[in-house]
Each structure stands twice: as C-alpha cells, then as structure tokens.
Structure 1
C-alpha cells in the first residue's frame, strides 16, 4: 500500500503543494496506470516521483521533467529519444476497455496539473516583473 503524501507542510511553494495534493488523491491510480502501460518500470517511475515529492521543499526542474515524462507515458507518447522510440516493453491495450477510459481521465487530470503549474509560473513571473518596474520607478 502506498503511503500518503504530506499535504500540510511548511513548504511555501504552492506548486509543490498542488502536486502533492494531486498525488495524494491519484497516486495509487497513477501507479496502476503506469504499470498497465510499462510494467514494473512504469510503477517504479511513479514511486520514485512520489518519493521525491515527499522529500522536496520546492518543485524543482527535475521533478517537473519527471511529471512531463509521466504524462508522456500515460499519453502513450513513445519517444524515448529523438531518433528511435522503444515500444518493446509496452503492452497492447484494448481501446474499449474500462482501464483505457480511466487511463484517459488520469492523463487529462495530470495535464490539468501541468497547466496549473505553468499558470502559477506565469503569475510569479508577472509579479516579479511588476516589482522590478516598481523598484525602478
């Protein structure tokens, strides 16, 4: 059984808080979905991500990259590198199965989380620019 992620922490990073809340709610389902697509490797990927979230004090670039990589896996985007996709370990899924419907919902929720993180970046950048302009005046 997965341990719950801390959602009430001293971190002031709202992005980290949003990601932790998302994985607190959907972490087990994300593990199952990644396992359905990529077997033990997919499960390990999500567990490493969740472990990193437990220890993090802010949402760093590497964690953001892992979130995007997880979204690509769930989206069935097979690009491993720019030259040669590796689909050898992926299972074939029946598009009409309930698992695929759940996979699509999880993928959409993860995409929404990535958009939310990006919007918070934009808000922070806009605030920083406004403060710079105010200081210059």
Structure 2
C-alpha cells in the first residue's frame, strides 16, 4: 500500500530532494499520525502528498502548501478559510500517551523540514541577487 520514495532522486531541485528524503524516512509514521487525528481522510491526505512528490520534478507552491497544511493538522491547528473548522470527527487524544509524544516529534521534524525549505529559498534569492548585481556592473 505505502510505496517508498526513492532516496536517490534525479531531481536537481534540492528542496524536492529534502522533502522526498524526509517522506522516505517518516512517510509511514506521518500516515499513522494523520490517521490518528483525522481518520482515513488524514491518511489519504498524506498518501496524496507522497504520490505528488513521487511524480514531481520540482517542489511547487501547491506542494509546499500541502506540507504546511499537514503541519497544521499534526499541530492540531487546522485553518479552514476564516471559519472555525469542524473538529467533531477528530479523536480525543490522551496527552500522556506514547502516540502523542510520537506525534509531537513528527510535527517538530516536519517543522524543521519547512524551515530548511525556507532557508534554501533564501539561499537561492541571495544567489539570484548576486548574479543580478554582477550583470549590472
């Protein structure tokens, strides 16, 4: 059911590579965590994201948005437009359970991945500015 993403990718996009490696290592656990919170809909969300990563040639804006949305789900902080989300289908979790501890670790790792992606954006912007300045001179 859950197909592993190739850790050795042919993509020149370092951000996509970082995300693929992350999901190769944590994809199954992310599916389980999303299922714990949002049932089959949560699992389907992660599987769609992984399928998109498998087919992508670069990390697109829509995929970045899905990563942020997954982080919000795992953080128990979903945002649905400006309206309050319907959380009636969510399972109540025991804060002292081992599942919640694992959920927190996965959420922190996903946050670290999002920060890494952002830092790579900053690096690419700095290179582009340097090249622009070089061309202007």
TM-score normalised to structure 1 length: 0.98
Contact 1:74 1:103 in 2 (8 A): yes
Measured in 2, the distance between the counterparts of 1:66 and 1:101 equals 23
**Number of aligned positions between the proteins:** 137
**Structure 1 residue 56 and structure 2 residue 56: aligned?**
yes
**Structure 1 residue 32 and structure 2 residue 29: aligned?**
no
What's 2:128 paired with? 128
Q: Give the C-alpha shift of residue 81 in structure 1.
A: 2.1
**Structure 1 residue 84 and structure 2 residue 84: aligned?**
yes
What's 2:110 paired with? 110
Q: Give the C-alpha shift of residue 2 in structure 1.
A: 1.3
Q: Deviations over 1:21-40 (max 9, x none)?
A: 00000000000000000000
Query: Which stretches in structure 2 are left out of the alignment for 5+ residues?
Result: none
Runs of 4+ in 1 over 4 A off after TM superposition: none
Contact 2:31 2:47 in 1 (8 A): yes
More off after superposition, 35-44 vs 85-94: 85-94
More off after superposition, 73-82 vs 27-36: 73-82
Query: Which stretches in structure 1 are left out of the alignment for 5+ residues?
Result: none
Contact 1:78 1:87 in 2 (8 A): no
Contact 2:37 2:74 in 1 (8 A): yes
RMSD of the TM alignment (CA)? 0.8
TM-score normalised to structure 2 length: 0.98
What's 2:21 paired with? 21
